């Protein structure tokens, strides 16, 4: 560390920023290209090329992982490293860790790009990567964290700027989410089962999934906004005090909203209500942040005419506002009943990713390239062209998906004859109604990609022939002041923290009790808020002084952020994962799969069937009329991973077992259009040639038993006998219906699994009544 | 009223106020303040060609890793300055 009283010149490590930026651009193009391909596949089934590693179910995880972790991830690291060094006035702590971070992350991306098309997946959205890669991700994330916090420890600027707060929240929360949701027990080097099953897995998954959006796609980009937008506008952020409220309310509230992905499902109602309520509360901090960003341009709106960087930033922040308006709207149960499982959700997601993430990334790249290579941007005109093509692409995309989602949602829910019949009983009618809109989505996505490619050309011409430069800054090394240390007492025993903890405790009392205790909670909360306001009005200076002091104490700040984000997860998840699973069954409890059905289930996961087919009949009349009795919690309690799904490109499969005979499934998987005219489902020829991995079943069943699934004490030999015996029966049945296949083919196992769906349960009372 | 004592008193008063405010400012300089913090992104910086000598030479003082060393001050006084 520098001793006090000296001025020194620091040269920042901008090499790592250049590397992350170029990697982001490369992977962004790849991820978006795959996105356009899978959008095309939904219109033209031939675009699956009847090839396993090019089929929709395997490429869709590649698209999401590439754009989230490779494109936005690398962009985030570039932005975080660039801005952090300048905001704390210190070079990154370790060149070695920076390089390890960069190359480790790229290696992970390459590993994902190989394994996902091969069908190696955990079967959970945005958490598909197999366990060895998961461990690598956790390790590299820790490297990132160490490098970041080490840099903070060596900083020459004592006070932490608002962007740094968002980075701190990102690092600790993503670590927490990723580790918990990826807890798995391996069955082999390339396969594992998540430790949570059924509703527990669903809850943990969407606690992770929703907050991957919050803390991977939002908070770091907000930090980037708070740094780069003032830079580009050449004026400080509109309201620094508003950013304090924006930050703390956002990180506290966001984490509670996960259950809104499971509205109207079998998830306990108290969790659904909690998810909906907190989602609605998110409106305020999100819009506070958006307004803070936009108002930073006060007096500088004229620059929008000439500066493409500001154009991208302003549009990006506006899309953030639109998406964060739409998100809570979709989290209202009645709106969700229409929108969930439809393209409306796809519109919402892409408003955020293409508009917010993509445009913020473009603005940052256009701002960084001339500074990192000390050369003016090659063409402002091309950057403007990129902006308008990209904007047209986004509007076409989300406009088409809004129309598509609402159309299909209305058609699926429509009833006639006084609500006794479905107006469109054939799912394909609703699919074919939205085909033109799905095609428009392809056009929009392709336009957006074209704009991105123009950016690559523009930046390439900017960089070509230019020598890279690193930023330098003269800094004054300030003496450490022991009096400013907060310590444990100073961190926790102060009015803001005490009022927050008290308020949260009383809120829980209000939310989770009934009768007079509930009333006590309500009035107690009102009193607590009034007392806090009164105290702030009379002793506001003390609150401000404490916060100013907190900002120069990185560790206490980080601890408080961790507590703020952990609270929501703990209150929602702990009750669900500690309670005996058998108590969360409603009136039905699942029976275990046969060994062959389990093998088939793993194939269902491998092919990504869950990405187009849900296994969750919601507690909604049209769902029940279309798919059968609503799904009970107990019917999926032994499912590791759960397969409730989040999108219905095809119909729900929760009760498809027994609905059709084996030959129907055989024909349907061979060529869906033989049976379902107009279907967009891919063909699966490789299932008819691939052989079932009988040898893996004992290890898989052993792991499932370890996780609490009540499999009988089958020996490996018995498992093999049972699996092969059932396979022979199915093959014989197929033969009787004129379909010839060897009993050891994968199609046989998949048929066994599909025929078990909706059949594997018994009454929760413990009686041995047969399946329905 | 005598002008001189009045002038001296007022001047001393101003000096006292200045000293007191300066002392307070000095004490509080390590604290954050929203007004000051909001200006942090706008700090000036200068570009330097990447692969510049300090990293290769292994001297961390120009990277801000340790205080300016005597050798660097002697050889490149423009690169490292000390108050």
Instruction: CATH number of the domain at A639, please.
Output: 1.10.760.10
Average pLDDT value over all residues in chain B: 71
pLDDT at A769 over 70: no
What is the C-alpha to C-alpha distance for residues A432 and A415, in angstroms, rounded to an integer? 18
- Cβ A161–B41 below 8 Å, yes or no? yes
Domain that holds residue A524: 486-579
What is the C-alpha to C-alpha distance for residues A685 and A675, in angstroms, rounded to an integer? 16
Single residue among A579, A608, A637 that ends a domain in this structure = A579
**In which band, very low, low, confident or very high, does the pLDDT at A49 lie, cut at 50, 70 and 90?**
very high
The answer to whether position A477 is within a domain reads no
Write down the pLDDT at residue A767. 38
**In which band, very low, low, confident or very high, does the pLDDT at A48 lie, cut at 50, 70 and 90?**
very high
Q: Which of B10, B12, B49 is nearest to A11 (CA)?
A: B49
pLDDT tens, A410-446? 999 999 988 899 999 999 999 999 999 999 999 999 9
Same-domain pairing of A664 and A729: yes
pLDDT at B53 over 60: no
Residue A198, C-beta contacts closer than 8 angstroms, at least 6 positions apart: A581, A584, A590, A633, A636, A637, A638, A639, A642
Give the CA dihedral A676, A680, A681, A685, nearest 10 degrees: 90
Write down the pLDDT at residue A586. 81
Same-domain pairing of A68 and A147: yes
Write down the pLDDT at residue A358. 98
What is the C-alpha to C-alpha distance for residues A728 and A742, in angstroms, rounded to an integer? 8
Same-domain pairing of A370 and A493: no
Same-domain pairing of A563 and A593: no
Write down the pLDDT at residue A7. 84
| B52 phi and psi angles, rounded to 5 deg | -65, 160
Write down the pLDDT at residue A576. 77
| Contacts with A15 from chain B: Cβ below 8 Å | 50
pLDDT at A289 over 60: yes
The answer to whether position A235 is within a domain reads yes
Q: Which of A543, A353, A539 is nearest to A448 (CA)?
A: A353
The answer to whether position A249 is within a domain reads yes
Q: What is the DSSP secondary structure assignment for residue A745, as one 8-state letter?
A: B
Write down the pLDDT at residue A38. 98
Single residue among A521, A551, A579 that ends a domain in this structure = A579
Single residue among A550, A579, A608 that ends a domain in this structure = A579
Q: Which of B35, B80, B56 is nearest to A95 (CA)?
A: B56
pLDDT at A595 over 70: yes
Identify the helix (H) or strand (E) that includes residue A698.
helix A697-706
| Contacts with A14 from chain B: Cβ below 8 Å | 50
The string of DSSP letters for A167-225 reads: HHHHHHHHHHHHHHHT-EEESSSS-EEES--HHHHHHHHHHHHHHHHHHHTTHHHHHHH
**What predicted TM-score, i.e. pTM, was given to this entire model?**
0.90
In the structure, how many helices (H) and strands (E) does chain B have?
4, 1
Least confident of A140-154, A503-517, A742-756: A503-517
**In which band, very low, low, confident or very high, does the pLDDT at A616 lie, cut at 50, 70 and 90?**
very high
pLDDT at B80 over 50: no
- Cβ A469–B50 below 8 Å, yes or no? yes
Angle A353-A356-A358 (CA atoms, 0-180°, nearest 5)? 65
| Contacts with A158 from chain B: Cβ below 8 Å | 30, 32
- Cβ B41–A86 below 8 Å, yes or no? yes
- Cβ B64–A11 below 8 Å, yes or no? yes
pLDDT at B77 over 70: no
Write down the pLDDT at residue B57. 42
Instruction: CATH number of the domain at A69, please.
Output: 1.20.210.10
The answer to whether position A338 is within a domain reads yes
Enter the ipTM: 0.74
The answer to whether position A329 is within a domain reads yes
Write down the pLDDT at residue A2. 53
| Contacts with B80 from chain A: Cβ below 8 Å | 8-9
Same-domain pairing of A517 and A608: no
- Cβ B42–A371 below 8 Å, yes or no? no
Chain A, residues 6-65, CB within 8 A of chain B, namely: 6-12, 14-15
Q: What percent of chain A has pLDDT over 90?
A: 86
* B-interface mutation test, from A4, A16, A544, A548, most B Cβ less than 10 A away: A548
Number of domains in chain A: 3
Same-domain pairing of A168 and A299: yes
Q: Which of A109, A108, A118 is nearest to A55 (CA)?
A: A118
Task: Give the chain B residue nearest A548 (alpha carbons).
Answer: B32
| Contacts with A473 from chain B: Cβ below 8 Å | 43-46
Distance from CA of B49 to the nearest CA of A (A): 4
- Cβ B39–A467 below 8 Å, yes or no? no
| Contacts with A481 from chain B: Cβ below 8 Å | 30
The answer to whether position A156 is within a domain reads yes
Write down the pLDDT at residue A347. 97
* A-interface mutation test, from B27, B31, B40, most A Cβ less than 10 A away: B40
Same-domain pairing of A351 and A388: yes
Q: Which of A472, A93, A374 is nearest to B81 (CA)?
A: A472
- Cβ B40–A83 below 8 Å, yes or no? no
Task: Give the chain B residue nearest A375 (alpha carbons).
Answer: B47
**In which band, very low, low, confident or very high, does the pLDDT at B79 lie, cut at 50, 70 and 90?**
very low
Give the CA dihedral A761, A765, A770, A772, nearest 10 degrees: -60
Task: Give the chain A residue nearest B44 (alpha carbons).
Answer: A473
pLDDT tens, A318-341? 999 999 999 999 999 999 999 999
Task: Give the chain B residue nearest A156 (alpha carbons).
Answer: B64
How are beta strands A184-186 and A192-194 bridged, if at all?
Answer: antiparallel
Q: Is some CB atom of chain B closer than 8 A to the CB atom of A374?
A: yes
The answer to whether position A481 is within a domain reads no
Chain A, residues 230-249, CB within 8 A of chain B, namely: 230-231, 234-237, 240-241, 244
Same-domain pairing of A23 and A169: yes
Write down the pLDDT at residue A771. 37
Same-domain pairing of A503 and A376: no
Q: How many residues does chain B have?
A: 83
**In which band, very low, low, confident or very high, does the pLDDT at A189 lie, cut at 50, 70 and 90?**
very high
Write down the pLDDT at residue B31. 62
Max mean pLDDT among A437-451, A573-587, B54-68 falls in A437-451
Same-domain pairing of A724 and A743: yes
Write down the pLDDT at residue B29. 58
Write down the pLDDT at residue B63. 55
- Cβ A484–B30 below 8 Å, yes or no? yes
Same-domain pairing of A359 and A259: yes
- Cβ A2–B66 below 8 Å, yes or no? yes
pLDDT tens, A21-41? 999 999 999 999 999 999 999
- Cβ A472–B46 below 8 Å, yes or no? yes
Least confident of A15-24, A166-175, B20-29, B64-73: B64-73
Same-domain pairing of A288 and A324: yes
Chain B, residues 24-83, CB within 8 A of chain A, namely: 29-52, 54-55, 61-68, 79-83
The answer to whether position A480 is within a domain reads no
Average pLDDT value over all residues in chain A: 94
pLDDT at A581 over 70: yes
């Amino acid at each position: 560390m520098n001793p006090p009283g000296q001025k020194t010149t620091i040269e920042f490590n901008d090499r790592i920023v250049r590397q992350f930026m170029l990697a982001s651009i490369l992977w962004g193009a790849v991820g978006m290209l795959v996105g356009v391909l899978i959008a095309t596949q939904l219109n033209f089934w031939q675009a699956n090329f009847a090839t396993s590693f090019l089929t929709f179910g395997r490429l869709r995880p590649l698209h999401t992982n590439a754009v989230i972790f490779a494109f936005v991830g690398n962009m985030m690291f570039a932005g975080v490293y660039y801005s952090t060094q300048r905001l704390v006035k210190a070079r990154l702590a370790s060149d070695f860790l920076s390089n390890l971070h960069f190359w480790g992350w790229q290696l992970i991306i390459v590993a994902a790009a190989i394994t996902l098309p091969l069908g190696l997946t955990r079967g959970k959205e945005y958490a598909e990567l197999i366990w060895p890669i998961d461990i690598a991700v956790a390790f590299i994330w820790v490297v990132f964290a160490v490098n970041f916090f080490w840099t903070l420890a060596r900083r020459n600027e004592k006070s932490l700027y608002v962007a740094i707060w968002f980075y701190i929240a990102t690092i600790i929360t993503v670590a927490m989410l990723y580790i918990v949701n990826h807890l798995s027990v391996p069955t082999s080097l390339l396969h594992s089962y998540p430790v949570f099953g059924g509703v527990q897995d669903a809850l943990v998954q969407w606690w992770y999934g929703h907050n991957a959006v919050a803390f991977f796609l939002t908070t770091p980009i907000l930090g980037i906004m708070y740094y780069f937008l003032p830079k580009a506008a050449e004026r400080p952020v509109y309201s620094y005090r508003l950013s304090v409220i924006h930050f703390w309310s956002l990180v506290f509230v966001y984490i509670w909203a996960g259950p809104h992905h499971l509205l109207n499902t079998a998830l306990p109602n108290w969790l659904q209500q909690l998810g909906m309520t907190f989602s609605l509360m998110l409106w305020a901090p999100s819009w506070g942040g958006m307004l803070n960003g936009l108002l930073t341009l006060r007096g500088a709106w004229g620059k929008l005419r000439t500066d493409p960087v500001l154009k991208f930033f302003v549009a990006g922040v506006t899309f953030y506002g639109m998406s964060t308006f739409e998100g809570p709207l979709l989290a209202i149960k009645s709106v969700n009943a229409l929108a969930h499982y439809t393209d409306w959700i796809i519109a919402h997601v892409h408003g955020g990713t293409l508009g917010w993430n993509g445009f913020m990334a473009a603005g940052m790249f256009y701002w960084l390239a001339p500074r990192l290579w000390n050369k003016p941007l090659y063409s402002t005109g091309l950057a403007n062209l990129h902006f308008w093509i990209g904007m047209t692409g986004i509007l076409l995309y989300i406009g088409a998906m809004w129309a598509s989602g609402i159309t299909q949602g209305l058609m699926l829910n429509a009833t006639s004859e006084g609500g006794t019949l479905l107006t469109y009983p054939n799912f394909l009618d609703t699919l074919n109604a939205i085909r033109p809109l799905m095609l428009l989505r392809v056009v929009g996505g392709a336009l957006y990609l074209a704009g991105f490619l123009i950016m690559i050309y523009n930046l390439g011409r900017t960089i070509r022939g230019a020598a890279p430069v690193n930023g330098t800054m003269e800094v004054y090394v300030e003496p450490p002041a022991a009096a400013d240390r907060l310590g444990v007492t100073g961190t926790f025993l102060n009015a803001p923290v005490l009022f927050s903890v008290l308020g949260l405790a009383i809120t829980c009392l209000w939310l989770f009790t009934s009768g007079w205790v509930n009333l006590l909670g309500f009035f107690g909360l009102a009193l607590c808020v009034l007392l806090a306001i009164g105290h702030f009005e009379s002793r506001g200076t003390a609150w401000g002084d404490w916060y100013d002091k907190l900002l120069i104490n990185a560790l206490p700040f980080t601890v408080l952020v961790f507590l703020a984000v952990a609270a929501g997860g703990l209150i929602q998840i702990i009750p669900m994962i500690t309670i005996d699973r058998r108590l969360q069954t409603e009136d039905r409890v699942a029976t275990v799969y046969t060994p062959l059905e389990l093998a088939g289930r793993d194939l269902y996961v491998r092919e990504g069937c869950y990405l187009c087919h849900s296994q969750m009949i919601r507690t909604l009349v049209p769902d029940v009329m279309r798919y059968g009795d609503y799904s009970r919690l107990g019917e999926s309690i032994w499912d590791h991973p759960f397969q409730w799904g989040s999108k219905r490109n095809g119909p729900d499969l929760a009760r498809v077992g027994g609905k059709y005979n084996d030959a129907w499934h055989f024909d349907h998987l061979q060529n869906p259009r033989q049976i379902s005219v107009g279907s967009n489902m891919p063909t699966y020829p490789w299932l008819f040639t691939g052989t079932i991995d009988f040898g893996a079943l004992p290890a898989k069943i052993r792991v499932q038993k370890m996780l609490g699934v009540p499999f009988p004490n089958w020996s490996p030999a018995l498992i093999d006998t049972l699996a092969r015996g059932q396979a022979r029966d199915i093959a014989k049945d197929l033969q009787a219906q004129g379909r010839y296949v060897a009993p050891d083919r994968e199609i046989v196992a998949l048929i066994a699994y599909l025929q078990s769906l909706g059949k594997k349960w018994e009454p929760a009372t413990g009686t041995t009544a047969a399946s329905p | 009223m005598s002008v001189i004592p009045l002038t001296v008193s007022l001047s001393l008063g101003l000096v006292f106020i200045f000293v007191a405010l300066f002392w307070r400012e000095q004490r509080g300089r390590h604290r954050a303040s929203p007004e000051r913090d909001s200006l942090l992104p706008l700090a000036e910086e200068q570009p330097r060609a990447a692969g510049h000598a300090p990293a290769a030479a292994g001297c961390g003082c120009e990277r801000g890793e340790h205080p300016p060393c005597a050798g660097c001050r002697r050889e490149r006084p423009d690169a490292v300055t000390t108050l």
